[in-house]
Amino acid sequence: MNRLFNLNKDEFMKIFKHFSLVASFGASKADARVGAKVADAIKHLTLVALMMVFCAGSLSAQEYKVSTDENSFSLSDSEGESVMSIRTTEQSDGFKLSVAGVELNLRPSAVSNNSAVYKKAKNINHIALLEYGIPMLSLHNAALFNDASFERITDLNYTQSNQLNLNIADAYLPFARDNSVGLTGRIVMSWANYVFNDFTLGRDGSSVTILPVPENTKKSKLTTWAVRVPVELQFTIGNNFFVNAGVYGGLILGSHTKYKFGKDDKVKQDFSVNPFEAGLTVRAGYGRWYAYCNYSLTDLFKTTTQPGVRTLTFGVATGLFD
């Protein structure tokens, strides 16, 4: 329809209601959820623009010409100059808003394509309930001590040495809207068995000594169990690939040595170790299947007369028990 009129409140509301239909028509051609949001935004922009025109027209008593159809709306002054126009694009995938010669393109489809960026990652918790690893011992600052015999302590039976971690609680703090980057922390119960080949450990004051065992010894080991709290920075690639890197701290709550010999004979003794532990940790994998590595920055034994002994553990998790 085309006609001239002096813009008043009633005409103003009719124009706005008519444009609401135009906006809804355009939104139906695009993504329903995103298109509706864009349509609402355009309605508000139009409302502001119309209010500006209404105020200006009221002060100047200017006459305006309105042209509308199902795909467009235009407003021009009595001299034919365009004041405002709104129309759907040729592909009906957005709107073109022009006010006082300034044109703005609004495309719901473009917003829809970008909206996937803000979807929550499907899998942000990649930590399995159980982890299994093989621990190793290494000497730290060995060159500072003249104790070549102590190097035997690193001679472990790796086929029988093991570590079992039970992840009993965890939390995740996202740094990105899509959860691709965040901080993860958890509480872990950890048991480790360091199996020696042909000796056991003893104490001589503050020093750790290497003691022989009977020839028919079947197994000799040092066992520790601890509570550990790792804090890691987590990077999720896609929905399932991830890399974690961070630090851990913990308390070793118990430790003992034990060796078995003969048929049923065994010797078990409490053996104190450094109660505090801290180190570096890294893990990487897919979903809840991953490999991990822990390296201790603190010595396993609290001694100042011998080289430091630190732990290095490589392990895997499968998520089969989750």
The string of pLDDT tens digits covering residues 160-189 is: 999 999 999 999 999 988 888 999 999 999
Percentage, residues of the chain above pLDDT 90:
36
At 90 the pLDDT is 67
Q: By percentage, how much of the chain surpasses pLDDT 70?
A: 63
What's the pLDDT score for residue 8? 52
The pLDDT score that the predictor gives to residue 34 is: 45
The architecture CATH gives domain 130-317:
Beta Barrel (2.40)
Please give the mean pLDDT across all residues of the chain: 77
If you average pLDDT over residues 83-102, what whole number do you get? 65
Question: Pairing mode, if any, of strands 82-88 and 63-68?
Answer: unpaired
Top pLDDT among 269 and 145 is at: 269
State the pLDDT at residue 132: 97
User: Given this model, what pLDDT does residue 124 score?
Assistant: 73
pLDDT tens-digit map of 180-236: 899 999 999 999 999 998 899 988 877 888 888 888 888 999 999 999 999 999 999
Which residue has better confidence, 119 or 256? 256
Q: Please tell me the predicted confidence (pLDDT) of residue 141.
A: 80
- What's residue 110's pLDDT? 42
Per-residue pLDDT at 119: 53
Of 293, 296, 294, 292, the C-alpha closest to 278 is: 296
Task: Give the start-to-end residue ranges of the domains of the chain.
Answer: 2-118, 130-317
What's the whole-model pTM score? Answer: 0.62
Checking if the pLDDT of 292 tops 50, the result is: yes
Give me the pLDDT at residue 62, please.
55
Confidence band of 321 (pLDDT split at 50, 70, 90): confident
Q: What is the pLDDT of residue 91?
A: 63
Express each pLDDT in 4-31 by its tens digit: 444 454 554 555 555 555 445 444 444 4
Residue 58 has pLDDT above 70, yes or no: no
Q: What integer pLDDT is reported at residue 319 of this predicted model?
A: 82
Query: If you average pLDDT over residues 274-288, what whole number do you get?
Result: 95
pLDDT at position 205 is: 78
